[in-house]
Structure 1
Amino acid sequence: MTTAEDIEKAVEQLPAPELARFRAWFEMFDADRFDAAIERDANAGRLEAFAEEALAAYRAGQSRDL
């Protein structure tokens, strides 16, 4: 099995064009993983407390326009 250290060493050896390609791929891979985790948490109701807290702060005038 490949370790993170093995992967790091392989990435260090990539020529610039391949590094750019890898970077773009990894950015999409990481974003997709993050989005999936947020979706799972939302579907499981794990974000409800955060939403309620934000709405309560808004109702209490403790928020500001961005």
Structure 2
Amino acid sequence: MMTVETIEKQIAELDNVSFAKLRDWFIEFDHARWDKQIEADSNNGKLDFLINAALAEHQAGKSRDI
């Protein structure tokens, strides 16, 4: 397995086109991981406090139509 330092060195040696491709891939990869984590947290009830807080504010008349 490669170390982070090895990967960093290889990234630093990329030409601009390859670096742009890597950057675009990494952004998509990072977003996909984030989406999976949010979905898992939601399915496990870890975000219920946000729903409850929003519903409480709405019921207290603190929301408005957008």
Class of the TM-score when normalised by the shorter of the 2 chains: 0.7 to 0.9
Task: Give the secondary-structure state (helix, strand or coil) at the position aligned to 1:40.
Answer: helix
Structure 2: tracts of 5 or more residues without a match: none
Q: Specify the code of the residue in structure 2 equivalent to 1:51.
A: I
Structure 1: tracts of 5 or more residues without a match: none
Q: CA deviation at 1:7?
A: 1.1
Task: Give the secondary-structure state (helix, strand or coil) at the position aligned to 1:2.
Answer: coil
For residues 45 and 60 of structure 2, the distance between their equivalents in structure 1, rounded to whole angstroms, comes to: 24
Normalised by the length of structure 1, the TM-score is: 0.83
Q: Specify the code of the residue in structure 2 equivalent to 1:52.
A: N
**Mapped pair 1:32 → 2:32:** yes
How many residues of Structure 1 are paired with residues of Structure 2 in the alignment? 66
For residues 61 and 7 of structure 2, the distance between their equivalents in structure 1, rounded to whole angstroms, comes to: 49
For residues 65 and 8 of structure 1, the distance between their equivalents in structure 2, rounded to whole angstroms, comes to: 48
Q: CA deviation at 1:57?
A: 2.6
Aligned to 1:21: 21
The 1:56–1:7 alpha-carbon spacing in structure 2 relative to 1, beyond 3 Å, is same
Q: CA deviation at 1:3?
A: 1.4
Q: Specify the code of the residue in structure 1 equivalent to 2:44.
A: A
Q: CA deviation at 1:64?
A: 6.7
Q: CA deviation at 1:54?
A: 2.2
Give aligned-pair identity as a percent. 44
